[in-house]
Amino acid sequence: MSRAAPNDPSGEGSQHGNAAPSTEVRAMFDRIARVYDPLNLAISAFQEPRWRRRLVARAGLGAGGRALDVATGTGKVAADLQRRVGPDGHVLGVDLSPAMIDVAARRFADRPGLAFVVGDALALPTDDGGFDAATIAFGMRNLPDYRRGFAEMARSVRPGGRVLCLEIARPRSRLARILRWWFDRIVPAIGRVAGQGGAYAYLVRSVKAYPAPDRIAEIMREAGLTDVGWESLSGGIVTLHVGTVGPR
Ligand SMILES: C[S@@+](CC[C@H](N)C(=O)[O-])C[C@H]1O[C@@H](n2cnc3c(N)ncnc32)[C@H](O)[C@@H]1O
């Protein structure tokens, strides 16, 4: 069994949430903030922009809309949401890691209506029902309590609005063996070459610990979402869950 490097969270989780303390998760993302984007593109085999476009398209937003991107990281999903809602809209990106938020805020400083703030997904700095949609991309698996994460997103969205979660999955398709090999061998190797072996070993462990798509759909319903469904992207290596906020 692989061991975490010193100061890297274990990534061992449960059906409830990631076992790694948020302080360790935050410190790890602070360390990798500057190399995160190029590494992310490489480990996704350049698929990540396509997945992001699908997420934003399913959010159901139009010009002037209000969107929340939780665990926004370097802000790419938030920036795509801002493009969708235009200059009259409003998009807020929230992340636990000050270094990630710093990268996002610098990169997208010229975008009207796009703001970034440090905050915890389990206690979002948002008003009830203040947004038309809330997204989380590759962030849910890092949270110590998935249900509370979804409940906080649902609380922040108006009735009838959408909550969307894009996350890496363990594929069961015919491509599964190749994809697992890529994930178990190539992803940690890319991380090691970039001097971030511990962080990318954590990524692999946290994906293995993350519940199956059906269970995530159940957790979303337990968090108060309705019409929950999910789709597999790129042969099942990523899943996109979508739910609707019910009447309050
Ligand atoms: C794999 S990155 C994903 C970043 C971005 N959404 C993307 O698609 O590239 C996961 C992010 O989740 C953030 N995160 C982890 N735990 C969090 C928490 N409790 N609250 C808010 N953000 C958190 C990390 O700081 C990190 O930026």
* Regions of the chain where pLDDT drops below 50: 1-7
Q: Is the CB of 142 under 6 A from ligand 1?
A: yes
Residues 141 and 206 sit within 8 Å (Cβ to Cβ)? yes
Residue 16 counted as domain residue: no
Question: Residue 150 has which token pair?
Answer: 């979804």
The pLDDT value recorded for residue 181 is 80
Question: Residue 55 has which token pair?
Answer: 């997420």
Residue 5 counted as domain residue: no
Atom of ligand 1 nearest to the CA of 71: 22
Residue 102 counted as domain residue: yes
CA of 193 to the centre of ligand 1 (A): 22
The pLDDT value recorded for residue 201 is 79
Residue 12 counted as domain residue: no
Closest CA to 203 of 21, 6, 29: 29
Residue 175 counted as domain residue: yes
Residue 8 counted as domain residue: no
- Candidate of 24, 25, 41 to mutate for ligand 1, largest count of ligand atoms within 8 Å of Cβ: 25
**DSSP per-residue codes, 102-127:** HHHHHHTTT-TTEEEEE-BTTB-S--
Segments forming the whole domain that contains residue 168: 22-242
What sign results for the dihedral spanned by CA atoms 85, 88, 93, 98? Answer: positive
What sign results for the dihedral spanned by CA atoms 28, 32, 33, 36? Answer: negative
The pLDDT value recorded for residue 5 is 41
The pLDDT value recorded for residue 2 is 37
Q: Is the CB of 18 under 6 A from ligand 1?
A: no
Q: Is the CB of 96 under 6 A from ligand 1?
A: yes
**Domains held by the chain: number:** 1
| CATH number of the domain bearing residue 136 | 3.40.50.150
pTM: 0.91
Residue 15 counted as domain residue: no
CA dist 191 to 38, 53, 160, 199, 209, Å?
A: 11, 25, 40, 7, 19
Q: Is the CB of 135 under 6 A from ligand 1?
A: no
The pLDDT value recorded for residue 10 is 60
Residue 6 counted as domain residue: no
